[in-house]
Amino acid sequence: MQFWFIFSLLFSLIVATFAVINSEIVTIKFLGLNYELTQSAVILISAVFGAAIAMFLGLYGRIKLGLKIRGLHKELKEAEAQIEELEETIKNHERIASQYAAGKAAGAASGHAPAYTPGIAAPAKDPAAVEQPELAGNE
């Protein structure tokens, strides 16, 4: 940041020196009007307008970047909320699984079938034990 500030000061000094050296009167024709100004005034006015344009273009870029950052912060908060929700779901599933395993172990130790635990699906049948219907024409 300091480099650019020093660079702009040096550039301004060069422009001011050039403007003072060129102090002849010139006629400027703009929008159908004639203006008589010194070359130094024309140079300084042009430099000021150029600096103002550069400043506004930089300001536009900063505003655009700020809006993008704000949108990314919003997305980040949404993602963090989703992560918290998923972590809570995982904890609930782990709790239910541990309850199911504890019930299954207690049932095996006592010789009884495990009690039904809400939220846990019954174990699927062994696919090899399920009878497959025979297709017609395979006789």
- Going by pLDDT thresholds of 50, 70 and 90, the confidence category of residue 118 is low
- Per residue in 59-100, pLDDT (tens digit) is 888 899 999 999 999 999 999 999 999 999 999 999 998 888
- Per residue in 10-57, pLDDT (tens digit) is 888 887 787 778 778 888 888 888 888 888 788 888 888 998 998 888
Distance CA 132, CA 97 (A): 32
Domain boundaries, the chain: 7-109
Distance CA 138, CA 127 (A): 21
